A and B are shown apart, each in its own frame.
Chain A
Amino acid sequence: MQPVADSALDQEWKTSLLSQLDAYRAPILESMLAALPKGEPRRYLYDPLTEYLGRAGKSIRPALCIATCQAHGGEAKRAQPSAAALEMLHNAFLVHDDIEDESEYRRGLPTLHQQHGVPLAVNAGDMLNALSLRILRQNSDLVDPMTAARIVREFEHLLVASLEGQAMELGWIRDNREDVSEDDYLRMALNKTCWYSFIHPCRIGALIARPQRDDLDRFNRFGYYLGLAFQIQDDLLNLTGDQDKYGKEIGGDLLEGKRTLMLIHLLRTLTGAERARVLRFLGQPRAQRDAHTLTWILERMRQAGSFEHGRRASQYFAGAALQEFEQAYATAPESGHKIFIHRIIRYMIAREQ
């Protein structure tokens, strides 16, 4: 089966959606850059961060936040600090993730720690965290005190959940766990990715639009399924994608030992010497994981149907997100913003980067 890519999707459709994402991204990037202090130390902190923030990410999180706010009748400017804080926090996570994963590329360029060394990169990631709080404080000028406090609560949960999910994934790698199940993966993905990238951005956007609403849980299942479709597709791209489009090294997750849905499927499928070979590879330090075995594992995944399994799972979750969309956005009138969110669902399994 061909990868879910240009061959099957209308290129113009994707280009249009990417343009929409760019339009949401522009004011967010402006807010993030404005939050960067203009003084010293420039060379060791603010110049690297200016370059890093300027790299073209997709900005799905702020786009979901603002679009959900506008879809429910809210003003974009009132959601802008929260959306920019989400993106700033996401960038902080990326800087630290790349160190933890020993990744080499991010958004088509060397990772921050590759460029400036681990100590400066750790510090820069911490600064991005601090700046996300600074941006979030702007809410006090735009929303009522109760809503501002509720937004902080949403941030508090997404931060804690994300760090818990990251700990699960890193722990499995450190201990070279071979008993990680699909349920474990689903729980890890909920915590590591879905709360902060999908569920809370929608909840926060809706909260800003209608401060009195107490039905934010309607976005939980929508965001979770959408996040799973995104994460599994991301894992697939990491194994099968085009490095130029994906922006990260292909097979990097295997080199890092990440327990993806596809790897869990392969370990369940293989037996005997083949399974032992995969586990031996995963148990080695990253530097000792050789390209020959990596290629062999990728081929075994293909033969075992692990990629197909992941693709189907991603598509099932996208389908489920579509159904949940109808309920989550039932009270939002028809608008371009609502359509944009609807299109995002499909983009999750059509994207190549």
Chain B
Amino acid sequence: MLYYRRNAPNPVAPESATRTAADALRQATVTTRRLLPLSGMDDGSNAATSLTDTTLSSLATPPTSLATPLASMAPPTLMAPPLPSMTSPLPYAAPPLPYTAADAARAGGASGPLAGQAATLLPRAAGILNEEMARGALDAAAMPPIYGLPQGLPTLPGYGDDGLLKDLYAFAQRFAALMPSGTRSAPAAGGLPELHTRDAAVPGQAVQLRMQLHNDEAQALMLRPVATALIGDGGAQVAAEQIGFSQSEVQLPPGTHTELVITISLPAHCAPGYYTGLLVLTGRQGLRALMCVDVTRR
């Protein structure tokens, strides 16, 4: 896949704003290299790429990978009402595309005055998209500076500024995916995600914190949650023994996710205050979060 970054070498980027048609065609040729050569085009100079009528007619035929009967497929989840197509016959029993070889013949065939003109639009469109990408159309969407960058980052041996930046972003992305949803979960100043209860708790109450865990890596993960005691801002403590987990071991096969529920049983004599403690998930380096509980008077 061609992939453009503003600072990356671009094999097909125009060298100047005044591109020639030949530049565009050359660019389009690179872009659409997977497409089939168009046979019978009357304009030999544009015989770069396009689709044949045979290819077009394949619109009426399901690709092999999609030929599974609909009835055997799982219904969509979380959509109401269910998709009607799940009980419908395959859609591909429809007649072939209206544009067939016979239609082409009626329209003048491959040697007619119109032949080739519409076909050349495709590589030209591919060239235009490439050009827009080379200009950085999607650069802003590619890598958002969510947490900003501290000034004066050290340059590491073997890393340019961009390399370090990229690694930082990659780390932040991975970390963000392991943070809980629906809570104030952005890293605090110290860089740790925070787990909060929605409402303040009262002494004697059992409160729950929830953490969504996703494994998007190729290998399975086995995580074991461990928590320190919670320390209040007045110095009071809630012992680690008061903290329990929905699972003592979290097995995460590749591509799966689960929710870890942390239950904190606040002692009846617990002093009011803002309590924090460290949660560490062993088995995955750097995976930790700050547990935060706001305890008020009854």
Residues of A with Cβ closer than 8 Å to B?
Answer: 1-2, 4, 7-10, 13, 16-17, 19-20, 23-24, 26-27, 66, 70, 73, 75-77, 140-147, 149-150, 152-154, 156-157, 161, 182-183, 186-187, 190, 203, 210-212, 214-218, 220-221, 224-225, 228, 305, 308-313, 315-320, 322-323, 326-327, 334-340, 342-343, 345-346, 349
Contact = CB atoms under 8 A, between A and B. Distances in A.
Interface string B197-240: 00000000000000000101000000000000000000000000
Interface stretch (B155-163, B180-188, B263-271, B284-292): B180-188
B154 interface: no
Contacts of B34: 323, 327
Contacts of A152: 144
A146 B172 contact: yes
Interface string B70-98: 10011111111111111010010111011
A228 B121 CA distance: 10
B106 to A, nearest CB: 6
Interface of B: 1, 3-4, 24, 31-32, 34-35, 50-51, 55-56, 58-60, 62-63, 65-66, 68, 70, 73-86, 88, 91, 93-95, 97-99, 103, 106-108, 113-114, 117-119, 121-122, 124-126, 128-129, 132-133, 137-138, 140-142, 144, 146, 172-174, 176-177, 179, 181-182, 185-186, 214, 216, 255
A145 B179 contact: yes
A141 B183 CA distance: 7
B84 A334 contact: no
B79 A13 contact: no
A217 B63 contact: no
Contacts of B63: 326, 342
B172 to A, nearest CB: 7
A70 B91 contact: no
A320 B51 contact: yes
Contacts of A210: 216
B189 to A, nearest CB: 15
A335 B77 CA distance: 11
Contact of B83 (A214, A308, A336): A336
A329 B128 CA distance: 23
Nearest to A19: B84
B118 A313 contact: yes
A338 B176 CA distance: 28
Nearest to B55: A319
Given A157-B140, A182-B121, A146 B98 contact: no
A312 B118 contact: yes
B224 to A, nearest CB: 23
Given A10-B95, A217-B133, A323-B34, A147 B176 contact: yes
A157 B80 CA distance: 31
A143 B181 CA distance: 6
Name the 8 nearest CB pairs between A and B, nearest first: A146-B176, A8-B98, A312-B118, A10-B94, A19-B84, A319-B51, A76-B78, A313-B118
A327 B80 CA distance: 29
B181 A157 contact: no
Given A19-B85, A23-B79, A217-B3, A316 B103 contact: no
B114 A309 contact: yes
B47 to A, nearest CB: 15
A334 B34 CA distance: 23
Given A145-B186, A146-B172, A16 B84 contact: yes
30 contacts: A1-B107, A8-B97, A10-B94, A13-B94, A19-B85, A23-B82, A76-B78, A77-B78, A141-B181, A142-B181, A145-B146, A145-B179, A146-B173, A186-B124, A190-B128, A203-B141, A212-B174, A309-B117, A312-B118, A313-B118, A316-B118, A319-B58, A322-B55, A323-B34, A334-B65, A336-B83, A336-B85, A339-B66, A339-B91, A342-B66
Nearest to B120: A182
Nearest to A161: B137
A308 to B, nearest CB: 5
A323 B33 CA distance: 12
Contacts of B74: 335-336
Nearest to B84: A19
A155 B25 CA distance: 31
A312 B124 contact: no
Given A323-B34, A327-B34, A335-B73, 19 more contacts: A9-B94, A16-B84, A19-B85, A24-B83, A26-B81, A76-B76, A144-B177, A147-B177, A149-B146, A156-B141, A186-B124, A190-B125, A211-B177, A212-B173, A311-B99, A316-B51, A316-B122, A336-B86, A346-B97
A27 B78 CA distance: 10
B85 A340 contact: yes
A247 B167 CA distance: 52
Given A146-B177, A215-B1, A323-B51, A305 B121 contact: no
Contacts of B79: 23-24, 27, 66, 70, 76
Contacts of B174: 212
A142 B182 contact: yes
B129 to A, nearest CB: 5
A65 B119 CA distance: 29
A344 to B, nearest CB: 11
A340 B88 CA distance: 12
Given A217-B3, A323-B35, A313 B121 contact: yes
Contacts of B255: 73
Contacts of B88: 16
Contacts of A150: 141, 144
B98 A4 contact: yes
A150 B99 CA distance: 40
A141 B144 contact: no
